[in-house]
Amino acid sequence: MPRLLVCCLLSLTVLLSAPGTAHADAIRDGQWMLDALDLETAHTLSTGEGVTIGLVDTGVNPDHPDLVGNVDAGMATWDDGQDGLIDVHGHGTAMASLAVGHGNGEDNDKGVLGAAPGARILSAGIMDAANLEEAEAGGSWFGDAEVAPAVRWLADNGADIILMSISGDFGPTVAEAVRYAAVDKDVLVVACSGNIDPHGERVRAPANYDEALAVAGTDSTGGAWDGATIGPTVDLAAPAANVVVADYQGGYVDYYGTSNSAAIVAGVAALLLSLWPDMSREDLTWRLTRTAVDAGEPGRDDAFGHGVIDPVAALTKVIEPPTDRPDADVNPAPIGHLKANPSSLTTITTLVVGGGAMLAVVWTVFIGFTLNRRRTRTAVASPVVSTGPPPFQQTPHSPPFPRERPPSDSNLSGPRHWP
């Protein structure tokens, strides 16, 4: 059976830095998503600690300074895949950084900060160097034979969330695997809506599955990114354009695509699961969508879904429950653990907005326990040190700043791209 041609959801456009040459403050300052989503405030409430995000992608380089210690060995669908801890393309490392990147430097104030810097990635590598060579020659990237077992393995080995920043016309085995993860294992599956490309403008699998949370993209103005595929299955939107990510060879690059959007939403979901470990997939989806900021046409629309993800609101706002579930399921008590240990003091800040003024009410509480995760995870191996950068080489672009929005007809252009 021929393998499927998989649509790439993320395009590398500009090389921002090489190891040792970047002005690291500029990298963090270039992360417009941090201010747009108020992630600094969200991180005072939760960092995603205790949550595992399973990543179905090209593998991850665990030695990037912004990821060290946050990536666990998983599996690979190819020989010499180092349990998902080698990245032959760069896409997987980029997605990991947006989801769980912790930055670097003495105070972790340099490099890429992800949506959930306290969470972990469990990597499932689905593309090897032979796949890359074939794909760049116009062939297929990967198909059901790689994706389906990766999803099932992650669901069976401790993933609380599964991130799928891929898109394609997959067959029934991938649909069955996603349903298994979501329905049977209660794992939230987050998928990107896709990029407009030569294959068309429709939302494809897994984002068109009922069991997946589909995420489209925004730009730095808050508008819909014009390179995203949109449609009735879109649930949410998040930053897609001109997003700084960690490069698999050690520096930083700019990416455009809804792959970014899905990775960010997966990280935000981890913030909630860290605070409320027993929250079900359905209740988690309800909170994420019902606390989103409405954008575009009033109400749900094809470009934004229910709206733009709002991490702080998702962590703090009281919402109306669905008719078939009790209020406590979607509005649980706001307690969790933030770097908790038996002698630690944890400060939780609740923001109350009224009459145009913001009142910060701070409770300082002793936390003498760590909440149990909602499911028992199978132990995974310790991260394996990668053997060095893969053979694929990037072409530097100059100058690295400013990073400009590429023309809408070239959103998949660049020295290399996610097909």
Beta strands in 9-91 (DSSP E): 11-17, 52-57, 71-76
pLDDT of residue 200: 66
Superfamily in which the 6-323 domain is placed by CATH: Peptidase S8/S53 domain (3.40.50.200)
Confidence of residue 44 (pLDDT cuts 50, 70, 90): very high
Whether residue 67 contacts residue 60, with contact meaning beta carbons closer than 8 Å, is answered with yes
191/207 Cα distance (integer angstroms): 5
DSSP 407: P
pLDDT in tens, 276-302: 999 999 999 999 999 999 999 999 999
Mean pLDDT of 383-392: 28
Question: Which residues have CB under 8 Å from 120's CB, separation 6+?
Answer: 51, 52, 53, 70, 71, 72, 100
If you write DSSP's letter for every residue of 305-361 in order, what string do you get?
BT-B--HHHHHH---PPPTTS-HHHHS------SS--TT-EEEEEEEEEETTEEEEE
pLDDT in tens, 293-352: 999 999 999 999 999 999 999 999 999 999 999 999 999 987 433 333 322 223 333 333
Residue listed under structure tokens 């605070």:
275
Give the tokens for residue 142. 């990967």
Q: How many helices (H) and strands (E) does the chain have?
A: 11, 16
Given the residues 11, 259, 261, 274, select the one marked as catalytic.
259
- In the chain, domain spans: 6-323
288/291 Cα distance (integer angstroms): 6
Confidence of residue 198 (pLDDT cuts 50, 70, 90): low
pLDDT in tens, 120-136: 999 999 988 777 777 77
Q: What is the length of the chain?
A: 419
120/100 Cα distance (integer angstroms): 6
Tell me if residue 397 is catalytic: no
Tell me if residue 57 is catalytic: yes
The region that residue 73 occupies, defined by phi over 0 for left and psi between -120 and 50 for alpha, beta otherwise, is beta
Farthest CA pair distance, the chain: 63
Given the residues 43, 64, 89, 91, select the one marked as catalytic.
91
Tell me if residue 398 is catalytic: no
93/71 Cα distance (integer angstroms): 10
Mean pLDDT of 215-239: 97
Residue 267 CB neighbours (<10 A): 33
Whether residue 142 contacts residue 92, with contact meaning beta carbons closer than 8 Å, is answered with no
What separation in angstroms does the CA of 41 have from each of 10, 35, 334? 28, 10, 15
The region that residue 50 occupies, defined by phi over 0 for left and psi between -120 and 50 for alpha, beta otherwise, is left
- Enter the pTM of the model: 0.79
Mean pLDDT of 246-261: 95
- End-to-end CA, the chain: 21
Residue 52 CB neighbours (<10 A): 26
Q: Is the pLDDT of residue 137 over 70?
A: yes
Whose CA is closest to 86, among 139, 132, 120, 49? 132
Give the tokens for residue 364. 């300082």
Whether residue 268 contacts residue 289, with contact meaning beta carbons closer than 8 Å, is answered with no
Residue 11's DSSP bridge partners are: 256, 417
Q: Is the pLDDT of residue 10 over 50?
A: no
Mean pLDDT of 177-194: 98
Given the residues 11, 43, 46, 57, select the one marked as catalytic.
57
pLDDT of residue 23: 38
Give the tokens for residue 346. 């944890």
Mean pLDDT of 136-149: 85
pLDDT in tens, 84-118: 999 989 999 999 999 999 999 989 999 999 999 99
Confidence of residue 253 (pLDDT cuts 50, 70, 90): very high
